[in-house]
Chain A
């Protein structure tokens, strides 16, 4: 029964308008973001620039982290990502004084005025050297660097920054994970060659591009599936077919899970097909450059990185729709998505995946970051997969209750609204 129902549900999905709108948006997303990405060339000596990379030089790290702290302290506004989501922190007087103390010990900057002076000087310098546009818009900003206080050891620096991070509630630029990636230096030809080697050898080319592909696709997959599951959930009611289905012998588990499986499979299918484009680009490049690639990388990333997001968004939509018989899931998912996308903006480069619904990695490079953040990413993906399964289980439960005439939440919502409007 399950298999046949699954096939029928897939056919229904294919015949629904919303499905094709989703597919079109995915294609549009792909072509506009990734359609004309050139596969990385092997760097040549004598190029003007080779991009930037994180530096692990303690001196440089201290300078740039203290620069950041000076600027944020001066502006009295701190950006943090406590649980992977963006948060703007402003401090009370006491905490502000504690940060001032840290800044004084670490950089010898005494008070807001002194910090302001440094920021303004740096700003003026930026304009002078032409790295700020005439209207003040940033063109290419050399971040503020502040020298550490004399005799400050890297160890003591670490302690002070940990304290600052704690004051800010965690997830700030001063926590260990972030501060060690904060110093950027221009890459040399050798560096670039090294990156290229990592891409072609460690990632075997397709790994890097599959991550970049995942990065773009995951954004839209963080919202689109909800439209499919909400329309599916409401279809029975709208077609006045609920009672005909409810009285069949088929178990609620079979009905709900076959629908769920059909939706997720039909959603992952276009993603797999679209991924053929960058895959073929890679194949072509690999032939010319005489390198070997991982032929399954796109499949692995689609299921490892993207599928959990598809699963949980579909399941959340299905659960809320079954529970309320309304389209409220669209609003909920919209809010969740908004927070995810805008909360993740500071963490695009990869390696810092946190618990985001849509982990980002906006480069084909940075294999090291991926490698270092892999445990977190795996935990993240497993968490959402588990959440999806739990939500599906709950949907089965809700469905089986509704079948028996229990849990008439929609009726209650409507009655509530009615009595309110009467009052």
Chain B
């Protein structure tokens, strides 16, 4: 059986608004990162794969099953929505148990899986807490646990790291990587660091179109030799911003350590740096929009 998600020429509309434009992607086992700014269409794409939205045009097949036969796809997909909650008056355990029944798990199976998963997302001590009493981060962790409850072949997580503390974020990434060892995990985010640390393959969406698809190293190599840093004064920074894409800066007293993109060495004090994903992402986004004059 196929273990890839194949999306071909997918167009998606909300009324007259086109949210996805001719998207074609092939997603294989492992972590797949979806990157893009707010409103780029990440959630829309994920919902189409999770059968929550009917595709307008094109074909989407999940491990050989068309999203048209939603029942078949649901069996093998786990989904963590960007915004969600659970019945507020249920305890953590009850909510998991309820969803476990809906996933068709038997009693013993549920008991075992829930125990194991709550352990994994660090919620064992909170299993008797009511859902309404959970913090945002705890709710997210519960969300990931429910998404993998039925051991799905495909896991779709929509901005799962939003609102997590740094320690949890790292734990979370590691958890996703473990899960991704033998299945497809699609992760959307606008935090470049998440992708850098975990994903091999990524796609970047902008205004509904795929503007990059490939591996993280390939993306980074696009900006190889184009990333410079320089220590300049605050006044000079304004000028620099006009001509170049500044990807980060660090204030040092009256001066600023700026990191920016340039096709060739712009001035003598600028030093060539090793490119990072963040730089590459900024480069990509601005290529699409045109580099500022």
Contacts and interface: CB of A to CB of B under 8 A. Distances in A.
A245 interface: yes
Interface stretch (B96-104, B117-125, B222-230, B240-248): B96-104
Closest 5 CB pairs of A and B: A248-B102, A405-B53, A240-B85, A250-B102, A247-B79
Contacts of A244: 79, 81, 84, 86, 99, 146
A4 B101 contact: yes
B215 to A, nearest CB: 29
B71 A251 contact: yes
Interface residues of A, number: 24
A1 interface: yes
A15 B103 contact: no
A240 B78 CA distance: 17
B52 interface: yes
B214 interface: no
A5 B79 CA distance: 21
A192 to B, nearest CB: 56
A248 B50 CA distance: 10
Interface of B: 47, 50-54, 70-71, 74-75, 77-79, 81, 83-89, 97-99, 101-104, 107, 146, 150
Contacts of A243: 50, 52, 79, 81, 84
A248 B103 contact: yes
A355 interface: no
Contacts of B88: 239
Nearest to B150: A249
B74 A249 contact: yes
A12 B150 CA distance: 23
A241 interface: yes
Interface string A88-114: 000000000000000000000000000
B99 A245 contact: yes
A246 interface: yes
B103 A404 contact: no
B117 to A, nearest CB: 15
Contact of A5 (B53, B102, B146): B102
Nearest to A6: B101
A4 B111 CA distance: 14
Interface string A232-261: 000100011101111111110001000000
A406 B101 contact: no
B63 to A, nearest CB: 14
Contact of A247 (B51, B83, B101, B104): B51
B103 A250 contact: yes
Contacts of A12: 87
A363 B253 CA distance: 94
A249 B81 contact: no
Interface string A1-37: 1001100100010010000000000000000000000
A373 B243 CA distance: 91
Interface string A332-359: 0000000000000000000000000000
A240 B85 CA distance: 5
